[in-house]
Amino acid sequence: MPKTLWDHLPAKQYLAAQEQHLVRYIREMVYPNSPYYHELFDYNRIKPNAIRTTRDLASIPFTTKADIAPLPEDPAIPFSVVLQPPPQRGESVGAYRRLKLAYSRLTHGKKGFDRLIDDEFLPVHYHFTIGRTALPTPIVYTGYDLRRMREAGRRLFELLELKRDDLLINAFPFSPHLAFWMTYFATEAMGVPALHTGGGRILGTHRILEALERLQGTVLTATPSYAYHLLRLAACDGRDFSSLHTLIMGGDRLPVGLKGKIQELLAKVGAEKAAVASTYGFTEGRVAWSECRASAMSKDEGSGYHLFPDMEIIEVIDPDSGYRLEPGESGEIVYTALDWRGSVLLRFRTGDIAKGGLNMSPCPHCGRSLPRLGTDIIRSSYYKEFELTKLKGTLVDLNAFYPLLSGHKDVLEWQLEIRKHNDDPYDLDELYLHITPAEGMSKDFVEKELQELLQREVEIAPTRIVFHSLTGLLERLGLDTRSRERRFVDRRPAAGGRVEPDGEPAPQASMDFEDTATPAAYEDGSAGGALPDEG
């Protein structure tokens, strides 16, 4: 049964409450205390008092990743969106906020008041967005924010009907990203005992399997690819996972085909009734959202990610015109923070495209009236750096490969490698598809089937399909050794550059923080999925 007030409010009521939150938040908190938005509002001659409804958000310019990303010559850019304590800003605050501050000073004394201000505004926790093509962008949390993250995690676990007597095995990679840490704070808030393994790179895949079986874990959190890898090994070893009743997937998309393969493996290890829940999140959004348990039990596409109306406003816009779309229309997800401190973003363009957009009707599975995002989300931020030049007249969208190959019944594992013909940076792009076929499948049959499928669905066939043993391809992917599997590899030399002996491009000077988002990466950016993120 729903336990959170927002779960069962009619749409009219929660939208009205959301508007009240937004108006006060912008007037009393964001405009006075955010250096970035104070300057943005003044430059565009936007009066905070002019924001009276969620529709008025349209008067605020979009914020993009480029606006908040650090530059080598100005690494402090991301901190311009971090809210500053009123005394440091020296700006006048609204009457309500001014009275509240005065009352706090009176009732808590100077030292107590200073502690309250520190809790609200002092950065104590950092996440990072993905940094493959730019310097990593820090997202700052204060003590106030961490309590909100705990509450969001509690609601997500409540949505999936977890209990305090569950035992959770957290197999997300240990990184400064949303997926691992939201799981950590959610278990703490819910009072669910947990083993936070850090993933295969930290604890090791074999030990995670041992822990699941010996401790009789009831909940597993992991990226879809790593969960599939774990269950495949468990099935081969004949392990008993009959205690497992919930899988929470984040950091990547969970295509229907891959979900089906995971459900088949769950049946082989004695957990045929387990729910497989997809989540979605991105680092800048602070939290991840999930489908409900009944939806996760289904073999079909989920009913949607249940949002938190008191923590964010989600718009869906036409990516070309920027105009807001109506519920049910597919478009780009735009995020606005509500009542957060630390790094605060208004009208942040995620670059993620949600098929079916927003759904404002009650969930057909659980009856909650929360607004929902469609689960079919293409996360353009994941592989944007690999966008190809035209190959045989076609611009290849790498996002299209993931559901086709991860959900294919005849493919155990795969990796897409992008090269230049003869390693010449000025020559044509080439696509090498590395696969491990399912046991007993003819290589000729699988090759013909994949060539035809990809030609039909993405209008381009791989230059070459290379077959590997499962062990060999797992090593290429780094499922047991890296914080994020290397599903797409770009081995194109830069113009005038060199290629490393193993075919990798020469290393760049920037740090490489690999996002999980969740859902996605919960990176950076955030896939339909993140406990993800990324951004």
Q: Domain holding 442: CATH number?
A: 3.30.300.30
- What pLDDT score does 324 carry? 95
Q: In what order do the strands lie in the sheet with 331-337?
A: 312-317, 331-337, 348-354, 377-379
Q: Quick check: 6 pLDDT over 80?
A: no
Rounded to whole angstroms, how far apart are CA atoms 431 and 504?
A: 15
Confidence of residue 164 (pLDDT cuts 50, 70, 90): very high
- According to the model, what pLDDT value does residue 159 have? 95
Within a domain: 483: yes
pLDDT surpassing 60 at residue 129: yes
* Residue 275 belongs to some domain of the structure: no
The DSSP result for 318-377, as a single string, is -TTT-PBPPTT--EEEEEEE-S--SB--SSEEEEEEETT-EE-SPPTTT-----EE-S-E
Identify the residue with better confidence: 113 or 467: 467
Instruction: Provide the number of structural domains found in the chain.
Output: 1
Q: Average pLDDT in the 12-29 region?
A: 91
**Residue 403 falls within a domain, yes or no?**
yes
pLDDT of residue 522: 31
Tell the burial category of 452 from Cβ atoms under 10 Å away from its Cβ (0-12, 13-18, 19+): exposed
Question: pLDDT band for position 394 (50/70/90)?
Answer: low
Exposed/middle/buried for 61, CB within 10 Å: 0-12, 13-18, 19+? middle
The answer as to whether 458 is a domain residue is yes
Please say if the pLDDT value at position 385 is more than 90. Answer: no
CA atoms within 13 Å, Cβ hemisphere of 6: 21
pLDDT band of residue 488 (cuts 50, 70, 90) is confident
The contacts of residue 289 (CB under 8 Å, 6+ apart) are 156, 279, 280, 281, 305, 306, 307, 308, 373
| 506 pLDDT above the threshold of 50 | no
Least confident of 205-209, 360-364, 487-491: 487-491
| Region 12-28 average pLDDT | 91
256 neighbors 301 (Cβ within 8 angstroms): yes
Say what the pLDDT of residue 276 is.
96
Where residue 393 falls among pLDDT bands split at 50, 70, 90?
low
Residue 406 lies in a domain: yes
Residue 413 confidence (pLDDT): 92
Q: Is residue 410 part of a domain?
A: yes
pLDDT value, residue 29: 92
Identify the weakest region by mean pLDDT among 59-73, 104-118, 158-172.
104-118
What token pair was written down for 30?
Answer: 């964001």
Domain limits for position 462: 385-490
**What phi, psi does 101 have (nearest 5°)?**
-65, -45
Flag whether 422 is in a domain: yes
Q: Would you place residue 287 in the very low, low, confident or very high pLDDT band (cuts 50, 70, 90)? A: very high
Query: Mean pLDDT across the stretch 161-183?
Result: 94
Full 3-state SS string of 43-99: HCCCCHHHCCCHHHHHHCCCECHHHHCCECCECCHHHHHECCCHHHHCCCCCHHHHH
Q: Residue 534: its pLDDT value, please?
A: 38
* Residue 511: pLDDT band with limits 50, 70, 90: very low
270 touches 240 (CB < 8 A): yes
pLDDT 10s digits, 42-89: 999 999 999 999 999 999 999 999 899 998 889 999 999 999 987 544
pTM over 0.85: no
Does residue 416 sit within a domain? yes
Q: Which residue has the higher pLDDT, 301 or 528?
A: 301
